[in-house]
Amino acid sequence: MDAVLEWAGRLSPAEAAAGALAGNLALFAVALLAGGLLVRRFGDRRVTPPPAPPDRRERLLTVVAVLLNSAVGLVGWQLWQSGRIRLTADAGPRALVDLLLFSLVMDALMYGGHWLAHRRRLYRLAHELHHGYPDPRPATLFVLHPLEVLGFGGAWITVLWLWPGMSALALTGYIGVNLVFGLLGHLGVEPFPLRVRRLAVFRWVALPMFHAGHHADPAVNLGFYTTLWDRLFGTIDPRYDARRAAPDPALP
């Protein structure tokens, strides 16, 4: 990791911008390819109706999201270069602790931001656009109002700015965690079998059907990685645990 950080520190702004774009295009490609495979493999476990073919606006929003995410990555690189964001080469237990804590902090912030986004005026301003696609597909993960993309990017950059020194390995792991949970939540299918869904850990870790339930009823299931904040603040779908343990996970 030391070598990677040293290499990143030698990049020019143009090279960093190109790298951020290439990285975000790769994440987008992985989401589409992996998501497509999962939807085809588990198409018999749909939890939302099959989506309509993508329209022009949906395609445009995905392009804008990838570009804005790349811009956020470039800003993060510049703040790291200037010393405002501190990254370490830790790869031991410290990296795992950083990953877990950072994921929980971001989960809490995203829950709060998501709750605010559903207040009437803010909802009409931005988040209503995402809910214009109630039957998600993998690409729906990127179908967001530009203000939401920038809001999420601003949140994680702010947390990194305040962090006393984030493991670069943990930060890389978090990017993977965010992609995996975002993708699974927008598959429209539930790939996990019943015996897995019934495990105690999935009372707290969000299953794909958890976010699918939010698309079906925007008043519930506002969390992203965990169900913790929804349980704490009473916004969890009261039928979620029964559905999680049911042989057929389909939403009514």
Tell me the C-alpha distance between 185 and 1, whole Å.
Answer: 31
Which residue in this structure is represented by tokens 């811009």? 71
Please state the pTM of the whole predicted model.
0.93
pLDDT at 3 over 90: no
HSE-CB at 132 with a 13 A cutoff on CA atoms is 16
Nearest to 171 by CA among 62, 65, 67, 85: 85
Q: 201-215 pLDDT, tens per residue?
A: 999 999 999 998 998
| C-alpha distances out from residue 251 to 66, 190, 194, 244, Å | 30, 11, 15, 10
Tell me the C-alpha distance between 148 and 113, whole Å.
Answer: 9
Tell me the C-alpha distance between 126 and 44, whole Å.
Answer: 33
Q: How confident is the model at residue 1 (pLDDT cuts 50, 70, 90)?
A: confident
Q: 132-161 pLDDT, tens per residue?
A: 888 899 999 999 999 999 999 999 999 999
Q: What is the mean pLDDT of the chain?
A: 93
Q: Are 180 and 101 in contact (CB under 8 A)?
A: no
- Range with the lowest mean pLDDT among 19-23, 46-50, 207-211? 46-50
**Rg of the chain over CA atoms, in angstroms?**
18
Here the tokens at position 116 are 């605010």
Nearest to 54 by CA among 125, 123, 141: 141
* Spatial CB neighbours of 155, under 8 Å, sequence gap ≥ 6: 106, 109, 110, 113
Report the pLDDT value the prediction gives residue 252, as an integer from 0 to 100.
57
HSE-CB at 150 with a 13 A cutoff on CA atoms is 6
Here the tokens at position 235 are 């916004």
